[in-house]
Structure 1
Amino acid sequence: MQGSSEFHYRLPASFGGYRPGAHKGTSLGAGQGFAAHKRLFDHPDPRRLDLRASVRDVRQEWLVRIQRQRVAVPVHAVVDVSASMHFGAARSKLKVAADFVEALGTSAFRAGDACGLLAFDHAERDDLFMPARHSRGAGFVMGQLLRDCTADDDAASNPQKAGNRGGIDGLRQAVARLAGRKGLVFLVSDFHWPLAGLDAVLELLAPACVVPMVAWDPAETEPPDAQALVAVSDAETGVRRSLWMRESLRGEWRAGVAARRDELRMLFEGRGLEPFYLHGAFDGEGLTRHFLEAVA
């Protein structure tokens, strides 16, 4: 595993379920979160008897403490594996995403959660699907699946058809498995495709806690310094262009990156979501801080 590390996540909402775990639950059971006092007659467990509450009870009933159980939640990574995700100056964005997914598997296992993988390009990638499971080695397996994944060669041979690759159709097919289900979902993509329809996809995932993971490479966000003729190509469509890298073009490049960042921020903020950026490498400590700030 290169550049990835374990991280810790905390969820702002409470979840139902009966499998013990590390997250706030809505179910009553063995736990440390106080829920209510109930009559000993209705809940005959003398170990939970609360003498002080019983003495203060106006009905002079014996009262026991009822606790809320901490529960496990299903965790899924939904990863874009389209052609643009295979780009990277030092390491491809997909390999950075694989570092994150491997760390996610380890982190979920330690938290007692089941972890699974879904992937998409122009359509759902069934060959990369891994159902959620609570396994020590799940992260390693998911990471290797992504590292061994190859780009769709059809994108280079048919640019017109490839224009929709990695877009909303593939994402919609992938998340259909998770529609209406609670849990934690990491949506990993560079979002280098039209965003129309993304809000509808987020609506399908509304019951879950969604964390957008924006994978960008430094070579995309910062233009070259030298004033020279630069050959660039669209990783999704394969269309190539030659540009003379002058100062005004650098300004347009940076402005375009800033505009795209603002567009993503506004879209996600409309859903109460805060994106986390994978900028050339995965930072486990940074993602831990991201969760701590979100639930503070």
Structure 2
Amino acid sequence: MTAPPDRLLRRLEWRVLRRLDGRLQGAYRTAFRGTGIDFDSLREYAPDEDVRHIDWNVTARLDQPHVRQYTEDRELTAWLVLDQSASMRFGETPQGKDSMLTDLAVCLARLFTRGGNRVGAVLYDNRRHRVVPPRTGRDHVLRLTDLVTAPTPDRGGGSTDLAAMIRLAARSAPRRGLVFVISDFIGEGDWAGELTRLALRHEVVAIRVVHPIELELPDLGLVLVEDAETGEQVLADTGDPLFRERLREEVAARESSVDEAMTRAGVAAHRVRSDEDLVEALVEMVRRAKRGRR
């Protein structure tokens, strides 16, 4: 049975966020900046200014060089794009992929709202999508927790259209901000291209959640393997050395393909195992984010 939202949030605040504060001493507050920049006004260009700031369209119309002025939005808006498809429901609680997604989402939401920042969410499965407008405060995190932990009907309907999920996120977040895409990235569509387009406007962090069995299948003898998204079933002999070697090669090729796609998209990419310690995973994300800014 899923814990009530208030109990889950209190547990994560006590067991994860308190430890995270002790380990990072607030470093996560500056690791992900995501600052928004809004157009404010136009003014005439001064001779000592950088010519790259000139608005050439306005300059051509007015026959006088002008530059754009911007105001910096100090309030961070973070978005959580959460893949709730069938493949994310693989694994038993508390070490299933959906359990890790829930804990990541709740912890990230609370981390950012504690500093007065706003957090919104896109909850996506094959046939049901929900957009939660960004707000701040603990009550908002409780509402998000309630939505994320609500039972998701097993609707089937084929592989997840990850490209559509990312496009929905782009439409939902018109202003520049920080976007966390939490998914196993198992699905259809040109998600890499959509991720690239999303990263042109936002600071994007892709968190790929994987189950240990997806990386190394144990010897379980003859088992019936079912694709969580398509329902296709195959009888596999997991003790067959040739089968295991072929599976390792397929896993290595898939991991390499996903890594290359993330690199091309220009996003900060992290892989988190569903049995991994959440504090260690978050600490590593922050450390990599800070190294990337040097």
2 CA distance for matches of 1:183 and 1:239? 39
Q: Is the 8 A contact 2:196 2:266 kept in 1?
A: no
**Residue in structure 2 matching 1:132, options 134, 140, 152:** 134
2 CA distance for matches of 1:146 and 1:104? 13
In the alignment, which residue of structure 1 is the partner of 2:248?
254
Aligned residue type for 1:234: D
Residue 278 to residue 216, structure 1, CA distance change in 2 (3 Å): same
Of Structure 1 and Structure 2, the greater helix share is in: 2
How far apart are residue 139 of structure 1 and its match?
2.8
In the alignment, which residue of structure 2 is the partner of 1:172?
167
**Residue in structure 2 matching 1:148, options 141, 147, 150:** 150
Corresponding residue SS for 1:289: helix
* Mapping 1:84-103, distance limit 5 Å: 84-90=87-93, 91-103=95-107
Corresponding residue SS for 1:117: strand
Gapped regions of structure 1 (runs ≥ 5): 18-25, 28-67, 156-161
What do residues 113-165 of structure 1 show as CA deviations (whole Å, max 9, x unaligned)?
10111111225512xx3211111233333233222231433x1xxxxxx2233
In the alignment, which residue of structure 2 is the partner of 1:238?
231
2 CA distance for matches of 1:14 and 1:177? 17
Q: Is the 8 A contact 2:114 2:137 kept in 1?
A: no
| 2:85 maps to 1:82 | yes
What do residues 31-83 of structure 1 show as CA deviations (whole Å, max 9, x unaligned)?
xxxxxxxxxxxxxxxxxxxxxxxxxxxxxxxxxxxxx9781211000011111
| 2:71 maps to 1:71 | no
Gapped regions of structure 2 (runs ≥ 5): 1-7, 21-27, 41-70
Aligned residue type for 1:264: V
Q: Which consecutive segments of 4 or more residues in structure 1 shift more than 6 A?
A: none
1 CA distance for matches of 2:292 and 2:33? 8
Q: Which has the larger radius of gyration?
A: 1
Aligned residue type for 2:141: G
How far apart are residue 214 of structure 1 and its match?
0.3
**Residue in structure 2 matching 1:192, options 157, 177, 186:** 186
Q: Is the 8 A contact 1:175 1:205 kept in 2?
A: no
Corresponding residue SS for 2:79: strand
2 CA distance for matches of 1:134 and 1:244? 51
| 2:272 maps to 1:278 | yes
What do residues 149-203 of structure 1 show as CA deviations (whole Å, max 9, x unaligned)?
31433x1xxxxxx22335323442343212x520000011111113524313430
Residues paired across the two proteins, number: 237
Residue 13 to residue 237, structure 1, CA distance change in 2 (3 Å): closer
2 CA distance for matches of 1:225 and 1:235? 20
Corresponding residue SS for 2:154: coil
Q: Is the 8 A contact 1:95 1:146 kept in 2?
A: no
Residue 5 to residue 141, structure 1, CA distance change in 2 (3 Å): farther
2 CA distance for matches of 1:229 and 1:274? 39
1 CA distance for matches of 2:259 and 2:98? 22
User: Which stretch has the larger CA shift, 166-175 or 276-285?
Assistant: 166-175
Corresponding residue SS for 1:224: coil
Corresponding residue SS for 1:111: coil
Corresponding residue SS for 2:105: helix
In the alignment, which residue of structure 2 is the partner of 1:38?
none
How far apart are residue 220 of structure 1 and its match?
1.5
Residue 231 to residue 219, structure 1, CA distance change in 2 (3 Å): same
Corresponding residue SS for 2:197: helix
Corresponding residue SS for 1:116: strand
2 CA distance for matches of 1:166 and 1:83? 12
2 CA distance for matches of 1:210 and 1:268? 10
In the alignment, which residue of structure 1 is the partner of 2:16?
5
Pairwise CA RMSD: 2.6
| TM score, norm. by length of structure 1 | 0.71
Corresponding residue SS for 2:121: strand
